[in-house]
Amino acid sequence: MCPGADNTPNGQANGHPNGNNFHPHDGYTAIETRQNPHPSTRNPYGHNVGVTDFLSNVSRFKIIESTLREGEQFANAFFDTEKKIEIAKALDDFGVDYIELTSPCASEQSRLDCEAICKLGLKAKILTHIRCHMDDARIAVETGVDGVDVVIGTSSYLREHSHGKDMTYITNTAIEVINFVKSKGIEVRFSSEDSFRSDLVDLLSIYSAVDQVGVHRVGIADTVGCASPRQVYELVRVLRGVVHCDIETHFHNDTGCAIANAYCALEAGATHIDTSVLGIGERNGITPLGGLMARMMVQAPDYVKSKYKLEKLKDLEDLVAGAVEVNIPFNNYITGFCAFTHKAGIHAKAILNNPSTYEIINPADFGMTRYVHFASRLTGWNAIKSRAQQLKIEMTDEQYKQCTAKIKALADIRPIAIDDADSIIRAFHNNIKLGTDKPLLDLTEDEKAQLAQKEKELAEEAQANGTVSA
């Protein structure tokens, strides 16, 4: 379900408010936009249009942030204690509900790190992730965590080739571990591993059993990323009718469905979503925190904006990206440098009139800035007019169109940078003021010849059809 634009102005963000120097890339510029809010609309094609599903938790979900557990399983990850503490504080500042840590049984340092983070006094609850085993549970509860996440494989693949236990053993052990953790006065979650390749009867039986002994949450894990959104919705909806406790979901991204699956899980009645910053984790990782924020910002903007410090997202992603030595993808949700960049002339014209025409998310909500890429062959005269006005250059619309034709002609023969476009705009304006016909840019002889030929072709074409690009 994709609602229309928010009914608040989707205006221009001016830089990064949290102190970062966020500069446009070559060929891009921040643009001023006219405030013209688009009225809120509902999706007329959604299921049960106009009826709110009382089981949906789209507007009341909680995040279990697993960068310091699942994220530590990313191939390039190594977090020392200092870095773990820095990331934990940043996640807490952003506003996540829970921070999940690597099992203290994994190594001695993992145990010490778990204890250190528990002593920070963060607002977020601290969880640790352990095997469904009493020895692990005894160690976990001594670290000072607020909760323990218990997991064991339930699919035939994992029962046969991983731990070798049958469902009777799994159920009995799960109940023993849950009762022990509860006796210590802390939260406990039980999750099956490889849920979507497990037998449905087995799943519902064990979830029902642990629900009856008072587990706080049951977890569904798409461990290999095989589930589709429809499968997720159906399983969560069935499970919602079986258990009374909360439902946590964990989605791997092997087939690209992690965000969609998380969203569908919430629609079906799940209460908690596992995320990691930039989606890092085992193999292709899991639901990315930023991607989930983008999806939920569209569906439940008031809830998201009231709960999370969205302007901190870029700093958080920069922190984790630096720690694992990766670049933030150019097309990353929200924070990729192309996320709010508009290039085509038709797009630029509409964005200048009303940003909601081609943006479903207001970049200002995340401390980001929109840009029009005007230094290209695809630019339109409205974008060039906007840029010229930023440069304090006023011309008639016809002159803006002529200047645009000059820029497009050069961009047809070689790549141009923002400085090239600015130089052409200034030189074109000076020629008008002084009544001269000086070259607009320093070019090689070959470029001059190509440009002359291109301008001749464009002039003939314009004369023939009398049109100029938007």
Residues marked as catalytic? 347
Q: Supply φ then ψ for residue 371, to 5 degrees.
A: -135, 150
Q: At 31, which amino acid appears?
A: I
Per-residue CA distances from 450 to 228, 411, 412, 443, 454 (Å): 52, 11, 9, 10, 6
* DSSP-derived 3-state class of residue 402: helix
Q: Which residue has the tokens 């029962």?
A: 159
Question: Is-contact 20 14, C-beta < 8 A?
Answer: no
Q: Could you tell me whether strands 28-30 and 371-373 are parallel, antiparallel, or unpaired per DSSP bridges?
A: antiparallel
CB burial of residue 466 (10 Å; 0-12, 13-18, 19+): exposed
* Other residues' Cβ atoms within 10 Å of the Cβ of residue 467: 8
**Under the phi-then-psi rule, with left for phi > 0, alpha for psi from -120 to 50, and beta for the rest, what region is 417?**
beta
β-pair partners for 349: none
User: Does residue 258 contact residue 252 with C-beta atoms inside 8 Å?
Assistant: yes
C-alpha to C-alpha distance for 303 and 107, rounded to whole angstroms: 38
| 88, β-bridge pairs | none
Decide if 257 contacts 251 (C-beta within 8 A).
yes
With CA atoms as reference, report the closest residue to 100 among 203, 191, 231: 191
Rounded distance between C-alpha atoms, residue 173 and residue 133, angstroms? 7
The Cα–Cα gap between 194 and 192 comes to 7
